[in-house]
Amino acid sequence: MNMKAVLSAATVALALPLAAEAATVNLNEGFNYAYTTLATSTTASYTYDVAEGTTWNISDISFTANGAYSNISLITITVANGGVVETYGEWIPGAGTTATLSALGFTTSSDFTIEYTYAAGGTAPVLVNHMFTATEVPDVPAVPVPAAGILLVSALAGLGIAKRRAKKA
């Protein structure tokens, strides 16, 4: 094997992990936060693991990017939740070399993914992060059957008494 082939293979082996970064994160009650540095033509995704049988309210998701705005504007964000996919890319320039973006919150009982995509044409890496709060939705207890039966019988008895009084009058 010649040196050119070895160097080419090493370059590909080093570039592949940078091309697509993915992480699975446990969803926490309260504050959730993640960040990464994106190079041009790469993606990074975070899948939040929702425990089976639970439902969560996810607040609006706040994104911040640090870098030249010409590079930040090449980054799109996709939020995928149970078959619903929303894409965001309208960054609002901030002070210095920052920009912000906000995605709508949602309620979910399944895993969801936040993905960053940095399109080709960027000139430098960009540091991006997101944060949101998660609140578990408590189970709503059903009305117990014995209590429902007592309520029904009481209502019917009340209607019967009211009907008798109406006939006597």
- Alpha-carbon distance of 88 to 101, in angstroms, equals 8
- According to the model, what pLDDT value does residue 166 have? 67
Contact 113, 50 (CB under 8 A): no
Block means of pLDDT (10 residues each) for the chain, 169 residues, are: 45 42 79 93 94 93 96 96 92 94 94 96 96 90 66 78 71
- According to the model, what pLDDT value does residue 161 have? 80
* 159 sits in which H/E element: helix 145-168
Which amino acid, 103? A
Task: Find the angle CA(52)-CA(58)-CA(79) to the nearest 5 degrees.
Answer: 90
Q: What is the dihedral of CA 31, 114, 85, 19, to 10 degrees?
A: 180
- According to the model, what pLDDT value does residue 16 have? 37
Contact 70, 107 (CB under 8 A): no
Contact 61, 132 (CB under 8 A): yes
Based on the number of CB atoms within 10 Å of its own CB, is 42 exposed (0-12), middle (13-18) or buried (19 or more)? buried
- According to the model, what pLDDT value does residue 113 have? 96
Structure tokens at 94: 């901030």
pTM of the full predicted structure? Answer: 0.70
| Architecture per CATH, 20-138 | Sandwich (2.60)
